[in-house]
Copies of this chain bind each other. A is one copy, B any other.
Amino acid sequence: MDRKPDEATEAAWIGLSRAQRVATASIEARLKAAGLPPLSWYDALWELERAGDAGLRPFELERALLFEQYNLSRLADRLEKAGLVERRAVEADRRGQMIAITPAGRDLRRRMWAVYAPAIQAAVGDRLSAGEAATLAALLKKLV
């Protein structure tokens, strides 16, 4: 490894940056226009909702979201302050905690999805055929 990228690789990298920036900006703009919090809140709430009532350990959520440890710690602070999650002590490991979504968290996640879903459709779905979207998803998966 560690040579220079060829043209296609460079184009793919630049495209990745720009496409992500454009799509994210348009989706975030819709959320903001609807008076809703940013995507990172959605991602966290969704992981927690899928995790069920027991919740997740911060380090699990951190890995699921590809967040830095300190960023997750602070996101959890904000979510907790907003009443969307609660932190619970975990008896098996007194260093740790569980973060669990609250009913208010579930409700907000649902309301965010009502805006987020059409925003994804506008930013991605409307610009690709079904086959193209599937191909794109498969190729992007190889980068993770």
Contact = CB atoms under 8 A, between A and B. Distances in A.
A125 B10 CA distance: 8
Interface stretch (A15-23, A53-61, A71-79): A15-23
B16 A117 contact: no
Could you say how many copies of this chain the assembly holds?
A: 2
Interface residues of A, number: 50
Given A15-B144, A19-B143, A8 B137 contact: yes
A142 interface: yes
Contacts of A140: 12, 15-16, 18-19, 136
A139 B143 contact: no
Interface of A: 1-6, 8-25, 66, 117-118, 120-128, 130-137, 139-144
